[in-house]
A = this chain, B = another copy of it.
Amino acid sequence: MSDQPVVRPAPISGFSEWLPEVRLVELHWLDRIRETFERYGFASVETPAVESLDVLTAKGETSQEVYTLRRLQADPRDASDAKLGLHFDLTVPFARYVAQHFNELVFPFKRYQMQRVWRGERPQEGRFREFTQCDIDVINVDDVPLHFDAELPRIIHEVLTGLGLPAWSLNINNRKVLQGFYEGLGIGDPLAVIRIADKLDKIGTAGVGELLAGAGLSPEQVTAVLDLAQIKGTDASVVDEIGKLGVGSDLLTEGLDELGFVLESLSDLPTGSIVADLSIARGLDYYTGTVYEGKFLDWPGYGSICSGGRYANLAGSFIRRNLPGIGLSIGLTRIFAKLLAEGLVETGPKSPTRVLVALPSAERRADALATAALLRSRGVNTEVYHQASNLKKQLKYAAQKGIPYVWFPRSTKASRTR
């Protein structure tokens, strides 16, 4: 032991790390998610953690959250380094990826991407500075068939069901319904109303009503907008319910057809797991049709556990092609950290080892190693106790690490004849 001063390590706010027994569960989750994504034919893509700032800020709206990079030893006046930033989601890098490799991809291109992302914001419950997202997207030239609007939530439903989460629902809406309904009401700037309606969760009906009035809507328009937002349902009957509000437009009809198709396609899933929720707006401007937002039922105030939707042309900032897409993203860290905090993650062993080969004496090491090699060759995760010692100590080690089996070597011939 040296006498050098000790840097006491402390957790950094917003960056999480897990003990081995927790990490094993997380790894199991990641495996399941990946397996399901691949089961539906989605291919893995990983992009660098870093993008050029041009790419990250092409859309502008989230630039305040970007972490830029700078070499520790760089001259502070030299800004050349500062043109790189960590990605804050996986959608922008994916759009850039598709544009950059356009000629080498086969469309419709279906990819999954499970990576960490970084946001330089103030950490709070459910918000991290580093977190893992698991995204699937389908992107195609000119047109993405509507049935993907139903397939993506089916895949996510299968994933979330497999993780054994506490009660949740995957809530669906369609931006054409909102926009078409607002147009039918004679509202001039439907997108502005969508952005206001998106705050319903945070500021409630009264708050949204005030903002809408402030935006110039008549009391009747405000009432109708809020009436629509109240509508929820677990099947395609919501389409009739919306019809009863007596508002009409071509876009609304189109949106209701799409919403009805998606709900009908998913009607075999357990009732309540898919919910049509007309209050969901997803503030981001790039969504054009179906939108998704998953929530824990018991923690409605907690952020969404998955989200996404259909977009017209996300790669349009990077290539002059029409590349619409649809995507859904699971907020893995947000879900996992919440369950951990609630004590709902059942942790098991601290090690992947299934068999500990005991080592009663140093002379038996060759035997023990041979036994372990045989077990490993049969696919069993095996370790040999690291030094000859009494068996009590070895059993304690196995118990502490959660190793279920201990292999006691048979007495050798030599010791039997003694």
Which residues of A approach B to under 8 Å, CB–CB? Answer: 1-2, 4, 6-12, 15-20, 23-24, 27, 38-55, 57-58, 63-74, 81-82, 84-86, 96-97, 99-101, 104-106, 108, 110-111, 116, 118, 120, 129-130, 140, 145, 147-148, 313, 316-322, 350-353, 365, 376, 379-383, 386-387, 397, 400-401
Contact = CB atoms under 8 A, between A and B. Distances in A.
Given A17-B47, A46-B23, A68-B69, A41 B318 contact: no
A43 B350 contact: yes
Contacts of A86: 69
Contacts of A17: 45-48, 97
Contact of A19 (B1, B48, B104): B104
A12 B73 contact: no
Contact of A20 (B23, B44, B57, B382): B44
Given A10-B52, A18-B46, A65-B71, 4 more contacts: A2-B313, A8-B318, A17-B47, A19-B105
Contacts of A12: 48, 50-52, 84
A55 B10 CA distance: 10
Contacts of A24: 43-44
A39 B376 contact: yes
Contact of A322 (B1, B145, B313): B1
Contacts of A120: 69, 71-72, 74, 81
A68 B100 CA distance: 28
A9 B39 contact: no
13 contacts: A9-B55, A11-B100, A16-B48, A17-B97, A23-B45, A39-B381, A40-B376, A53-B72, A65-B72, A69-B86, A70-B70, A81-B120, A106-B350
The quantity of this chain's copies bound in the complex is 2
B81 A72 contact: no
Contact of A321 (B1, B71, B350): B1
A317 B71 contact: no
A108 B401 CA distance: 10
A73 to B, nearest CB: 5
A111 B43 contact: no
Nearest to A132: B46
Of A9, A27, A57, A64, most B-chain CB atoms within 10 Å:
A9
A15 B321 contact: no
B1 A318 contact: no
A48 B333 CA distance: 12
Contact of A9 (B2, B16, B100): B100
A379 B44 CA distance: 18
Given A17-B97, A148-B386, A43 B64 contact: no
A116 B85 CA distance: 16
A66 B58 contact: no
A23 B41 contact: no
Contacts of A27: 44
Contacts of A2: 313, 316
Contacts of A70: 67-70, 82
The 7 closest A-B pairs by CB, nearest first: A41-B383, A41-B353, A71-B120, A15-B48, A38-B352, A20-B43, A9-B100
